[in-house]
A and B are shown apart, each in its own frame.
Chain A
Amino acid sequence: MLKFATVLLAAIALAGVSHARTLDVAPGPDAQERIQTALLDAKPGDTVQLAAGRYELTDGLSLDVNNVTVKGAGPQTTVLSFKGQKGAGEGLLITSDQVTVRDFAIEDSRGDGIKSKGADEISFVNVRVEWTGGPKETNGAYGVYPVSSTNVLIDRVVVRGASDAGIYVGQSKNIVVKNSRAEFNVAGIEIENSMNADVFDNVATRNTGGILVFDLPNLPQMGGHSTRLFRNKVVDNDTPNFAPKGNIVAGVPTGTGIMVMANRNVHVFDNEIAGNQSTAVMLVSYTQKFDDKTYNPLPRDIVVRDNKIGKNGWNPQFSGGPMIAKMMGGALPPIVWDGVTTFAGLPDVVNVRINDGPVLNLNLPGPGQVEQAKPSVAKTIGGKPVAEPSAVVLPKRQADLSA
């Protein structure tokens, strides 16, 4: 009986493989309807193949079938242009699991580039998302935007011009962002309200801020923790902040390398951080009012070590910054910590361990209380050791995509 079941299972598995199809789509008239029809017709295991060329789209596209690959001929040759988009909040929306998008570009979507919501095992590989007019407040918010997902792979992705974050992972778990390039966005790469993220071997340059790790209140998933940022090149982030006000990234000072806001257990190491006029690494509390008793606004269990830090902080673009820089002899120390260690009754002990230095500790009594700053500079901050989260392991099908 068991044997019979095994044979049956093998037969089903084989049948599944043999039925995988490729649905070909070429550029030309009615591209909108033809691509969308292929995305509707695809069955699990299928590939929607977008031939090289330029596709002029008028509405958002969407995919809601599990285990489908959407593949182009390359991020320079297969281009989906949403310049004439009339509706929908993003260029491509994915709401199913085990989807891979790869080898094509999305240009000039009116809202976000590619969004995936509640899509587990989502992979973005060798994809370009770009707003071709350069940094503008009217560009869409996010380039690649997985949210509320478990197992996220972003590999060899390029995003340019997002008015919020180029690569944004929100309210997700088990995340790898690597070999990617984010430039001319407000935030290059942002990990928000997420657990277990490895962000490595990326380049974040010419953004307002290079890499951000945030935790925000009043969201279904809070308490972000366990992120490792390593071997990234976070250099020359110098684009003036062009985010529409009201968005949290509108508060990122121009020329920020790495910024950690709230969040827990974040390890920043072996990165190259240089050419960021405000600061190399900034550790700060969430300073806005909030109504959420379950939220902790302080960064805690943070480790900053062994980064290669060049010239940063020569012209800080945040309030009080220039004055402090002047006091410090012209430039801020590379690491800035707001120094908040307690918050209204929260039991967590704030532990920060910074081996790279010097560190400017603002010694604020509470989040955002800059008028009560008692700035001091320390060579290092020797908090207790914090065990580094183990490397994020993705399911094999995703790991194989990067092999």
Chain B
Amino acid sequence: MRGWFAVLAALVCLGATKPPADVALDVLMAETPAPKLGDYRLFSDAGARRPNAGLTPYTLNTPLFSDYAEKFRLVWLPPGTKAGYATEGVLGFPVGSVLVKTFAYPADMRKPHDSIRYVETRLLIHQASGWVARTYLWNAEQTEAVLKRAGARLEVAFVDGQGRARTIDYAVPNQNQCKECHQLDKTVTPIGPKARNLNGDFAYAGGTENQLAHWTQVGLLSGAPTPEAAPLTVRWDDQAASVDDRARAYLDANCAHCHNPRAVASNSGLFLGVEETRPAALGVGKQPVAAGRGAGNLNVGIDPGHPETSIIAYRMASSEPGVMMPELGRSVIHQEGLALIRQWISGMKAP
């Protein structure tokens, strides 16, 4: 019996010491999406808990709210290539790059590192013809994720940060919906990995380090200045930052992928990116155009000093299709984000 165990252990060790196959660049570059996430060999285990060699985890200072899901992000660049630094907009990722984002729920948000259930893993792959978006849905056993192109609804249960049991109707986007958010000038593009949003610390295995500095050091990024010289989007929940900076960071991450002159909501004339300076474009005193019942019987996007009469806050406070904003990517209200925007509007002075 003991001998049998020893053999088994030896086999396991053998398995572990054998270097895993490299990321499958050919599969990433293929026009036809791979049927299973595992086909890309982005992870060295079936459950995608262990990233393959060459993948670097990252985080964003202020991310999009996605129904309280945890998001685990990874970047992979073809060997020998680097992303080009850009002060504004997304870094210049070379062809062959892949951005990996797994949406997950811990059983209890108060213990965020325990019993984590993966829901879906999304890939943005930079192919020769441009970026493509793909979504892989995890099975209940957490052993396999399969391609899902047409979207899905899933019941997800967890205990929230306040200890309340919650069940949400989680929406996996269809392929077109990926593009609805991930586009500029009708072309698919990443949203998050901008210098300003990466300019923060990450707890790497080898110690905590600024992400821009780390990417430069490990050869992922060229042309970046020191972190102090790079632009910075504050963390939306950083109590040490000003409410204005936090609110603008929040709107940038949660709204500006559509509310941008080059994106899906361009026709609204409401532009919520951090670069926007015109009060009317930000919604101050601006009447709705095509909001329908989303206007909630209110007259303007932002009524300075009055979140209760500001359409932006009204739509964030809804979970009803046709009213709620963002239209995609959430089914529940982000109470903490809503509180921030209300606080921001409350503090605005009438022009």
Contacts and interface: CB of A to CB of B under 8 A. Distances in A.
Interface in A63-106: 63-64, 85-89, 93, 95
B261 interface: yes
Given A171-B267, A218-B280, A288-B287, A247 B261 contact: no
A139 B286 CA distance: 23
A163 B150 contact: no
Given A86-B169, A88-B327, A170-B267, A244 B320 contact: no
A24 interface: no
Interface string B277-299: 00111000111111111111111
14 contacts: A32-B150, A33-B150, A86-B321, A87-B327, A95-B264, A111-B294, A112-B292, A141-B292, A163-B293, A216-B287, A218-B280, A244-B296, A245-B295, A246-B298
Contact of B149 (A37, A59, A247): A37
B287 A246 contact: yes
A142 B180 CA distance: 20
Interface string A1-43: 0000000000000000000000000000000111011011000
A401 interface: no
A219 interface: yes
Cβ-closest 3 pairs across A and B: A141-B292, A111-B322, A246-B295
Residue from B169, B280, B288, B290 with most neighbouring chain A CB atoms (10 Å): B290
Interface string B318-337: 00111000011001000000
Interface in A87-137: 87-89, 93, 95, 109-112, 117-118, 137
Given A140-B322, A170-B267, A248 B287 contact: yes
Interface stretch (B12-20, B170-178, B204-212): B170-178
A291 interface: yes
A88 B153 CA distance: 13
B288 to A, nearest CB: 6
A87 B177 CA distance: 11
A62 B180 contact: yes
Interface of B: 149-153, 169, 171, 174-177, 179-180, 186, 261, 264, 266-267, 269, 279-281, 285-300, 311, 320-322, 327-328, 331
- Tell which of B171, B175, B291, B293 has the most Cβ of chain A within 10 Å: B293
A242 B177 CA distance: 31
A361 to B, nearest CB: 27
B322 A110 contact: yes
Contacts of A33: 150-152
Given A33-B151, A118-B266, 5 more contacts: A33-B150, A111-B294, A244-B296, A247-B288, A290-B280
A291 B169 contact: no
Contacts of A58: 153
Given A36-B150, A87-B327, A142 B292 contact: yes
A117 B279 CA distance: 25
A109 B293 CA distance: 13
A138 B293 CA distance: 6
Contacts of B171: 59, 86-87
A141 B290 contact: yes
B153 A59 contact: yes
Contacts of B295: 244-247
A137 B311 CA distance: 16
Contacts of B280: 218, 290-292
A33 B280 CA distance: 40
Contacts of A39: 176
B186 A95 contact: yes
Contacts of B293: 137-141, 163, 244
